[in-house]
Amino acid sequence: MSLPAAFLDRDGTLIEDVDYLTSVEKIRILPGAVEAVRLLNAARVPAIVVTNQAGIARGFLNERKLFTVHEAFLARFAAQGAHLAGVYYCPHHPEHGEPPYRRSCACRKPQPGLILSAARDFDLDVGASMMAGDSPRDAGAGRAAGCGAVYAIGAPPGAIDPDCRGAYEAARKAPDLLAAVREWLAGR
């Protein structure tokens, strides 16, 4: 039997967006993020991170360094009693870097590839799931994957990519991840 899940963006949703996180020392968990993940854990809803990491394509870090950053990121949440079930990332960019990282792909948000891969791996019901993120690309990925609830976190961005405008405008708005998770769980 498929389960619902919470697909969560990393930068700007769970941790501060520092514009290409390349070191463990720069990880700063956002207020309410740990409590939001704990609420999902208590409701037996897998919390899965889906994140674009074009810093790899751009040469700011390699996949080994990203793995180290993600290990520390997961450990910091776990140390506070918040379990993140997995991290799915896209290392690609359509215009920057060298092959194999410079390419268009199905995993770079707003494409749904990361969500769909996690759904297959964990046997998840995407239609009963939520996607939460601070970018119109996150809303686009959630909508493209067929998530039942899509949340735009935080202040509205400036210019919105036309490909994501409809998804962003249709997304439920929440000031932070904790508010989004509380609303979604209350409505299930």
pLDDT digits 0-9 by tens, 3-14: 999 999 999 999
Domain that holds residue 89: 1-6+16-128
173 assigned to some structural domain: no
Is 89 a member of any domain?
yes
183 occurs within a structural domain? no
The span from the CA of 139 to the CA of 147, in Å, is: 10
Kindly calculate the radius of gyration of the chain based on its CA atoms and give it in whole angstroms. Answer: 15
DSSP state, residue 126: G
Choosing from 9, 134, 138, 176, the catalytic residue is: 9
> How many domains, in total, are found in the chain?
1
Within a domain: 84 = yes
Q: Any catalytic annotation for residue 161?
A: no
Structural domain includes residue 68? yes
- Write out the DSSP string of 111-153: SSHHHHHHHHHHTB-GGG-EEEESSHHHHHHHHHHT-SEEEEE
Residue 7 DSSP label: E
Is 146 among the domain residues?
Answer: no
- What pLDDT, in 10s, does the model give residues 65-74? 999 999 999 9
Residue 169, pLDDT > 80, answer yes
The answer to whether residue 43 sits within a structural domain is: yes
Is residue 186 a part of any domain in this protein?
A: no
User: pTM score, two decimals?
Assistant: 0.97
Is 123 considered catalytic here? no
What's 72's domain CATH number? 3.40.50.1000
